[in-house]
Chains A and B, each alone.
Chain A
Amino acid sequence: MRFGVLQFPGSCDEVDALQAARRVADAELIWHGDRDLKGADAIVVPGGFSYGDYLRAGAIARFAPAMESVIEFAREGGPVLGICNGFQVLCEAHLLPGALLPNRNLRFTFRQVQLEVRSSGGTFTRECALGERLSIPAKHAWGRYHADEQTLAAMDDGGQIVLRYAPGENFNGSLQDIAGVSNEAGNVFGLMPHPEHAVDELIGGSTDGLKIFNSIKLTVEAA
């Protein structure tokens, strides 16, 4: 099983994502200008500041040639994980509902956050129990999740609200404490915290992030 990790000008977490993916499977970088996804079974759109985040975070990256292939891959049911800037890119590409806005505190904030798994058993949370807590770092300035009320209600009914910040942990002002959401089909998932930075006790303080990568691997292998 092989992960493909996108790399845009301005990406900064693609190597950590690559290393995290390599703990569970093969993984390769995919340059933003390439349309060839190199036979990847799952795609990771990593964190950073793609194209300088000019205009709005993720607004320009969604038009990259590699993203055209990722959009097609996602529409065919391929698993796509967007982390932080990757989440913003997937929202801008309309692969995920809603949008990310500047943090309520207007600051770039870096902290370990406690998340609650609110939808388990799917492609990205196969290894997690419902209600389980994950400890994962978050670091961003544009992480306030927003969608209109009707969309939020439909997402809630459809099990698309996969991760919420645990009580007291919602530092960015996201509606309904939302930290990570999936699309209706469940094959595209985005979250603001960084599971790729929580794969080694020594430097991440937790290995909870591996559960996400492992879940994807198990899903692909079970297919």
Chain B
Amino acid sequence: MRARVLIRPKAGILDPQGAAVERALPALGFAGVSRVHVGRLVELDVEDASQLQSMCERLLANPLVEDYEIQLLDVAPDAS
């Protein structure tokens, strides 16, 4: 099964990367952008999707400072 894990800085924790992007966009002429946050994306094929939460808690995310969201994708694993 193909899975996607989205990892974001927890709400309320200073996110300097998000702030830098939020400052950069108006400089390029994109107005009306707010609440920008930069996180991480992990994509993986897993045989047992029930292990994903444990993978996130132990390695993929640091639950003290990051929230994670697991998405299961309805596509067959890439045979290559």
Contacts and interface: CB of A to CB of B under 8 A. Distances in A.
B16 A105 contact: yes
Nearest to B63: A99
Interface in B1-57: 9, 13-14, 16-17, 20
Contacts of B16: 102-106, 173
A60 B62 CA distance: 12
A99 B62 contact: yes
A13 interface: no
A106 B23 CA distance: 14
A104 B64 CA distance: 18
A215 B16 CA distance: 37
A106 B20 contact: yes
A59 B17 contact: no
A23 to B, nearest CB: 35
Interface residues of B, number: 11
A14 B58 CA distance: 27
Contact of A55 (B13, B14, B59): B59
B60 interface: yes
B60 to A, nearest CB: 7
Specify the main secondary structure of chain B where it touches its partner.
mixed
Contacts of B60: 55
A97 B13 CA distance: 16
A61 to B, nearest CB: 12
B16 to A, nearest CB: 5
A104 B14 contact: yes
Nearest to B59: A59
Interface in A95-119: 98-99, 101-106
A59 B16 CA distance: 21
B59 A146 contact: no
Interface in A80-99: 92, 98-99
Given A55-B59, A55-B60, A59-B59, A146 B65 contact: yes
A52 to B, nearest CB: 15
A78 B4 CA distance: 40
Interface of A: 55-56, 59-60, 63, 92, 98-99, 101-106, 144, 146-148, 173
14 contacts: A55-B60, A56-B62, A59-B62, A60-B59, A92-B62, A98-B64, A99-B65, A101-B14, A101-B65, A102-B17, A103-B16, A106-B16, A144-B14, A148-B64
